[in-house]
Amino acid sequence: MISLLILTCNRKGMVIRSLRSLLRVLYQREDVEAIILDNASSDGTAEWLTTTALREKPLQGRLRVLLSAFNLGVVGGRELLVEQARGETLVFLDSDVVALQDDWLERLMAPLADPTVGLCGPGGHWVLPGWKWFDSIEPGYTGEVDVISGYAQAFRKADLDGFSFDWSYYPYWIEDSDQCLWLREQGKRIVCTGDVGLSHLYQGSGDDGRGPQKMAYLARKYRGKGLIRAERE
């Protein structure tokens, strides 16, 4: 089974558009489930999810909605979603991602056919020398990268055995890179898929004001281990 894991907070209008595009795959494939966690929204998102979304009879049993009474952040939210997932393959999707093509899931997961690949997705980045920040991949690039942006990531649940979602990144930002570098430390490859038919509408909106501190913390965990391109060249 494949589990689509979606976290949202106060994005009612956006999540309606996103889910209507992403969840078409549940009508096409019986081996896919979707779990949506509302992170203590106050704009009616939770109400829409528990009424309108769950009334779609063809989705019953394969669409689950979780409601948190307080904001768990991306770190806590994704930790809970992984715990709840029934699939062997997991897909993190932000609630501002829209599917433009019906075969997006197959294209997103394709690199996982190679057991050496631990995680893949379209948002590839390099870690800059000195662990200063991130540099996006060149347009059209597909292949191994340092990290993949968390707006769309596919990976095997079994490959996360031993991984702990680090609450030092709460409420969000750079937790996705931590997951990638941990997998690299386990000997897995991180692969950029290139375009798979997904659009990330609000990319770059994740600054919580503590980026430099979190980047320094990431560097302390992984610096000197030869996990990033800048340390291998």
pLDDT band (50, 70, 90) for residue 12: confident
pLDDT, residue 141, reads 95
Residue 131 has φ and ψ, to the nearest 5°, of 55, 40
Domain limits at 179?
A: 2-232
Q: Can you tell me the distance from the alpha carbon of 38 to that of 89, in angstroms, rounded to the nearest whole number?
A: 22
57: its two tokens: 């009879």
For strand 63-68 and strand 32-39, is the pairing parallel, antiparallel, or unpaired? parallel
Question: What's the total number of domains in the chain?
Answer: 1
CATH number, domain at 34?
3.90.550.10
| pTM attached to this predicted model | 0.95
**Sign of the torsion angle spanned by Cα atoms 145, 166, 128, 96:** positive
Res 203 pLDDT > 70: no
**Contacting residues for 103 by C-beta, under 8 A, at least 6 apart:** 197
